[in-house]
Structure 1
Amino acid sequence: MTGTLITVAPTGAESSKADVPALPVTLEELVTTAKECEALGASVVHVHIRDAGARPTLDLGRLRATVAALRGSTDLIVQLSSGGAVTDPEADRLAVLDAGPDMASCTMGTVNFGDDVFMNRWEFVVELHTRMRDRGIVPEYEIFDLGHLTALQRLLDRYGLPAGGHVHVDLVMGVPGGMPGTTEALVACRQVMRDLPEGTTFSATGIGRSTIPVMLASLSTGGHLRVGMEDTITYAKGRPVESNMQLVARAVGFAQLAQRPPLTAAQARSLLGVPVRDRWA
């Protein structure tokens, strides 16, 4: 791999605007953030949205407006979260696909999520995978623990390859209740991924203080990067993140040091099997 896919996850569903004033929660803030991060080197935007009160929502009208605005203002691959908040019902999470994103997340199993439980029943995972394929939406398989990779192998063996034919996973590391954000855990995942289809690619996300170790481990083992204020709100000890640009710029710097410069959006589409869409559609 000669380049690095950089995904920015600017908002998430966990932090509040009151606690993190720099968090982009309005559509205008999200579009501005996406444009700034694209200019630095991001090629994918992983999207959670908020309602008028800055609370996490899966409102379909807002999701459609968000996809349209991002597509009209950037060339980024628009990836919607089908996870939402841990309290969102399955029907609402499946309806995310009706907003017509380029990609969507597909979490490969249930995991303890801090004090909560992020529920992903097998039947729900299968339904999400097959609906994405039927609609030409490319999944990013979210992996919170080692067993989720085995579940992915089972899914692909039974139900076939995803839309676009390429398998891409995101290792979400350092969540309390999931796998740790360590080099050793990432290497263990790489070993299990040998059983996935040839050409499978991966990104890695380090939550909180694991951000930098995970970035370095991913780059050194041929992986890609996901960064953003969904996952990290402290740039260094005692230093809050000022913007998503700050996190993307650091990831770009690491990628360049690794002699794997950021992929453009067009290159990222080719890598992931994401079709080119009319940005005004």
Structure 2
Amino acid sequence: MTENDRRGALYAPTFIAVAPNGGRRTKADHPALPLTAGECAAVARAAQSVGAAMIHLHVRDREGRHSLDPGLYREAIAAVRDAAGPRMVVQITTESIGRYAPDEQVAVVKAVKPEAVSMALREIAPAESDAKRLSDLLAFCEAERIAPQIIAYDRTDADRLARWAHARVIDSRQVSVLFVGGRYDPPTQARPTDFVPMVESCADIYRDFMVCAFGPREAGCGVLAGLLGGHVRCGFENNLSLPDGSPAADNAAVVAAQAKALTAAGLTIGDAIALRSLWGIEGR
């Protein structure tokens, strides 16, 4: 990223996505963690009111387990739409959490046809020989006007994705990339410096990038992303704390803290209309 790019990033909107639950945590981790479609819809409405432009949805089955069931996704999407209207981009996930094979992850995208979807590179295309699966899925997304976001969990993922972009296995200008800092197991908290190698090496290859961070340094990581021209995903999926380390009351409190940190750094917060424009999914 050049100095001109960095200067221009200061005047472009920074988008906040709320990730309210993930597929692992339960109400034993936090009583305000949403599990049902109605609870996710309430989070969407509250998070939108304090700055979120997108909700990153996970759904659960009747036993509370992570699910990629298309019917559950349709129910959750409808609930969010009823609660927040067009003011929230709704992104589903294909995350496997050890339950779903790559072809099953692809199948849910084709069945639901959401306006946006996130997919982990190491799950959708775990090997070099899986490049065609990813390429074909991205072609489907383009044809159906679905905004794809590819997750890079570490520098190895980021480097492989960049290599495929340079080799034109994928159209890099079609995708958003999500860089992850920290992890569940072993429990590791992210630091802003974790993202610098990934962002500086390949962020300018893609249409846009976003970061998500485990732990209370989440807001600081989001500010770094915004200053470098990227965006931020925050919420109970990765972090249950406020920037000072105290427990957050709910997802909206995490989003509000992130928005406050971004605006204090001189950044502006973008809304769902601007995000859909960036991702080319207006009218979805």
Q: TM-score range by the shorter chain?
A: 0.7 to 0.9
Q: Spell out the pairing of 1:30-69 with structure 2 (5 A cutoff).
A: 30-69=40-79
Query: What residue is the counterpart of 2:118 in the other structure?
Result: 105
Query: What residue is the counterpart of 2:92 in the other structure?
Result: 80
- The size of the alignment, in residue pairs, is 266
- The question of whether the paired residues in 2 share the 8 Å contact of 1:82 and 1:105 is answered with yes
Query: What residue is the counterpart of 1:170 in the other structure?
Result: 178
- The question of whether the paired residues in 2 share the 8 Å contact of 1:64 and 1:100 is answered with no
Q: Spell out the pairing of 1:18-29 with structure 2 (5 A cutoff).
A: 18-29=28-39
Distance 1:7 1:51 in 2: 23
Q: Which amino acid aligns with 1:51?
A: D
Report the TM-score when normalising by structure 1: 0.84
Superimposed CA distance per residue, residues 125-162 of structure 1 (whole angstroms, 9 cap, x where no aligned partner): 34433332343211111111112222223333333427
SS at match of 1:250: helix
Query: What residue is the counterpart of 2:141 in the other structure?
Result: 132
Query: What residue is the counterpart of 2:205 in the other structure?
Result: 196
Distance 1:194 1:169, change over 3 A: closer
Shift of 1:194: 5.7
1:258 matched to 2:265? The reply is yes
- The question of whether the paired residues in 1 share the 8 Å contact of 2:53 and 2:89 is answered with yes
Shift of 1:7: 0.5
SS at match of 1:235: coil
Higher helix share: 2
Q: Which amino acid aligns with 1:12?
A: G
Report the TM-score when normalising by structure 2: 0.83
Superimposed CA distance per residue, residues 13-38 of structure 1 (whole angstroms, 9 cap, x where no aligned partner): 11122332211001110101101111
1:187 counterpart (196, 212, 217): 196
Q: Which amino acid aligns with 2:120?
A: T
Distance 1:269 1:9, change over 3 A: same
Superimposed CA distance per residue, residues 65-93 of structure 1 (whole angstroms, 9 cap, x where no aligned partner): 22222234322111101114233222331
RMSD across aligned positions (CA): 2.6
Q: Which amino acid aligns with 1:265?
A: A
Shift of 1:52: 2.2
Distance 2:187 2:121 in 1: 12
Distance 1:180 1:237, change over 3 A: closer
Shift of 1:179: 9.5
1:227 matched to 2:240? The reply is no
- The question of whether the paired residues in 1 share the 8 Å contact of 2:22 and 2:236 is answered with yes
Q: Which amino acid aligns with 2:126?
A: N
Gaps of at least 5 residues in structure 2 are 1-8
SS at match of 2:141: helix
1:274 matched to 2:271? The reply is no
Distance 2:203 2:187 in 1: 21
Superimposed CA distance per residue, residues 79-116 of structure 1 (whole angstroms, 9 cap, x where no aligned partner): 10111423322233122211121111122226xxxxxx
